[in-house]
Amino acid sequence: MRSVNGRGNAHPNRGAGAVMTSVAMIAIFGFTALSVDLGNAWQNRRHLVTATDSAALAAAQEYALHGVGCGPLADSYVASNKPDATVTACTPSPGASNGLTSGHVLVTAKTTIDYAFAPIIGVDSKTLASTTVARFGIPSSVGGLRPFGLCYDALLDLPEFSTWDPTSGPSDPVEIEYDKAAQPNACNGGDPVPGNWATIDLDGGGNSNADIQNWTLNRFPGLIPPGLYPGDTGAFSPSLASELQILEDSQLIFPLPLFSSVTGNGSNSVFDIVGFVSVQIVDFRTNGDQAQRSLTLRFVAAVVEGACCDAGGVDTGTRVLQICAVQANDLSDCPVT
């Protein structure tokens, strides 16, 4: 029999549908709330990773320069990036601060986050941890080069370089002259290398004076590994005076390429780059004939931009850094020599 109001049982499942909608809304709210907690945990984890990355790199740089990286230094880098985090481990490799050419340092930090919504399923907080291992060593390639090449064997004949101890600070200044008579012919097995000096064509192009000016002031923009590179033997152009003056005034530390030999002459020369050395410009001479031009340099132990590491490379106290592991139990990519 139909009801008086004409509706009767036309929608018998309406009540059940309302219940299901309520349950679905609760589930949606729950998932949304948990996603907020998970997003917060992810963000805190990223900040913690940044903290251990920066601390490990800073500590590795300090060990590369024969200092002590663990302790207050590592703690300060973690704290500046994640103030609520605590360093639970900072461990250098054996001999990292004792003159080895390479080493690494492991930094682990942790933090605890409180959940806002997860307590409804019985989870109040979570402890997050991050580990970063950074290594240092002799560079297998270098960025930030200025284009002035130095003959490595000729430097070994100069007491300012040959007796210099990179762990004791910068070397005494040494004047590198473009003077064929004054410079030792150490490269090429005694055959002359004009001035034991060159402008290296780092990009294989025309080595224009505009390129040399740009690279002198702003540095070469790519990474350069050891190998054969074209260039020009002889003195640099007097037009570099303003760029060299800026480098001298700033006392910027920057790397230069070292070559062991050169074939050809003038703009047809090819240089065998075997390593890199970090320097500061103390003085320079760009005027007069080529024999009167020179750079006075101070050699410096430094950490530079580049790729790590060349275990058999020329060691001049120049180092590069690399994050080599993110797990304490796998240091296979962090060898020590």
In the DSSP assignment, the letter for residue 172 is P
Is 9 a member of any domain? Answer: no
- Residues 4-30: pLDDT tens digits? 455 455 555 555 555 454 444 444 455
Range of the domain at 231: 141-323
In this predicted structure, the answer to whether residue 216 has a pLDDT above a threshold of 90 is: yes
Q: 126 and 153 share a domain?
A: no
Q: 148 and 129 share a domain?
A: no
Output the average pLDDT for the chain: 84
Distance CA 143, CA 333 (A): 22
Q: 166 and 128 share a domain?
A: no
Distance CA 205, CA 314 (A): 27
Where would I find the beta strands (DSSP E) of the chain?
86-92, 103-114, 125-137, 139-142, 148-151, 174-177, 197-200, 227-233, 254-263, 269-285, 294-299, 302-303, 306-308, 318-325
pLDDT-derived band at 184 (thresholds 50, 70, 90) equals: very low
Is 10 a member of any domain? Answer: no
Choose one of 136, 158, 192: the last residue of a domain: 136
In terms of Cα–Cα distance, which of 180, 177, 128, 127 is closest to 150? 177
Please name the amino acid found at residue 328. Answer: A
Q: How many CA atoms lie within 13 A of 242 on its CB side?
A: 4
Please give the C-alpha separations between residue 115 and each of 37, 49, 96, 109, in angstroms, as whole numbers: 6, 20, 40, 20
Is 335 a member of any domain? Answer: no
Is 178 a member of any domain? Answer: yes
Q: 116 and 152 share a domain?
A: no
Q: 189 and 107 share a domain?
A: no
pLDDT at 4: 46
Q: What total of structural domains would you count in the chain?
A: 2
- Residues 94-109: pLDDT tens digits? 888 776 889 999 999 9
Is 263 a member of any domain? Answer: yes
pLDDT at 23: 46
- Of the chain, the end-to-end C-alpha distance in Å amounts to 96
Is 4 a member of any domain? Answer: no
Q: What does the block give as tokens for 242?
A: 């303003």
Is 331 a member of any domain? Answer: no
Choose one of 136, 164, 181: the last residue of a domain: 136
Q: Is the dihedral of CA 267, 141, 300, 164 positive or negative?
A: negative
Distance CA 181, CA 171 (A): 25
Q: 309 and 162 share a domain?
A: yes
Task: Specify whether the CB–CB gap between 88 and 76 falls below 8 A.
Answer: no
Q: 223 and 95 share a domain?
A: no
Q: 181 and 317 share a domain?
A: yes
Is 12 a member of any domain? Answer: no
Choose one of 136, 161, 182: the last residue of a domain: 136
Distance CA 296, CA 174 (A): 5
In this predicted structure, the answer to whether residue 233 has a pLDDT above a threshold of 80 is: no
Is the entire prediction scored with pTM above 0.85?
Answer: no
Distance CA 231, CA 266 (A): 8
- Residues 130-143: pLDDT tens digits? 999 999 999 999 99
Q: 188 and 283 share a domain?
A: yes
Q: 242 and 318 share a domain?
A: yes
Q: 158 and 261 share a domain?
A: yes
